[in-house]
Amino acid sequence: MKTPKDNTEKLQKVLANLGHGSRREIEALIVAKKISVDGKISTLGDRIDIRTQPKIRINGNLIPVRPKEKDVCRVLAYYKPEGEICSKNDPEGRATVFTNLPKLKNARWINIGRLDINTSGLLLFTTDGELANRLMHPRNEVEREYAVRVFGKVTDQQIFQLKKGIQLEDGPAAFKSIQNQGGQGLNHWFNVVITEGRNREVRRMWEAVGVQVSRLLRVRYGNITLPKRLSRGTWLELDLNSVNYLRGLVGLSVEEKSFLSVDEQKNKSKRIFAKRPSVNFSNKR
């Protein structure tokens, strides 16, 4: 006997796809009993069929439920300056990375990973919660490349330790690669690559071997590089080719539509997508 097709999905996945946060953020809301479906408080493990148009409330507010296939997956490359935080609201009144982003209707920008307040560089945003979740997940080992300026002499032994692996308070960590980019005096630049996005991971790794980081700049996420002509605090929308590169990287289906015109895509694709990025930040940017 043929088993009917199961069209249900986990609640946190559905809400992430609709742009209401990452899976982890939504799971936290479920645990806190702040989400209900058809009047019933949700629990972890609940599954829903979005085609039945269930009434979903977050913090008591009814949210629109639209099938994901009707939405266009958009991705922005943003040049985060130092001094901005990766939260929408801050009790201390500090500037956030969301302030300068374009406004959306019936959707929201989701940051793909975070950069701490003292770190600048490439920060990606998307309207697709599932894409954001997969790109951030450690199992997918998406590369993040940083230009790091350190203060003082770095020995071969310290480099060896960072490549072999060191023990941090939240587990072992290692740089996938380290490239010496030169420098002057006591200031020296390195390009390093990691495949996780743990809190302050790059800084903590250097500190673990006794090296002080004086500047940190993310220059690449996957094969998407920080556009050279992008000014701090400004954004650029990725073309369809780059969006589908990111989707393919984590096993998602191809997107067929873009908010960019054909001419805009031709102009932008050369600025943000590089199969073999080579970034040198030995000089100040």
Active-site residues, by number, are: 116
Residue with token string 């935080």 = 85
Residue 168 has phi, psi (to 5 degrees) of: -100, 170
Q: Are 193 and 175 in contact (CB under 8 A)?
A: yes
Residues paired with residue 121 on neighbouring β-strands, in sequence order: 80, 218
In three-state secondary structure terms, 139 is helix
Paired sense of beta strands 212-221 and 120-126, if any:
parallel
Q: CA–CA separation, 65 vs 106, rounded Å? A: 10
* Nearest CA among 278, 154, 281, 124 for reference residue 217: 281
What are the DSSP E strand ranges found in 28-108?
35-37, 40-41, 47-48, 56-58, 61-62, 75-80
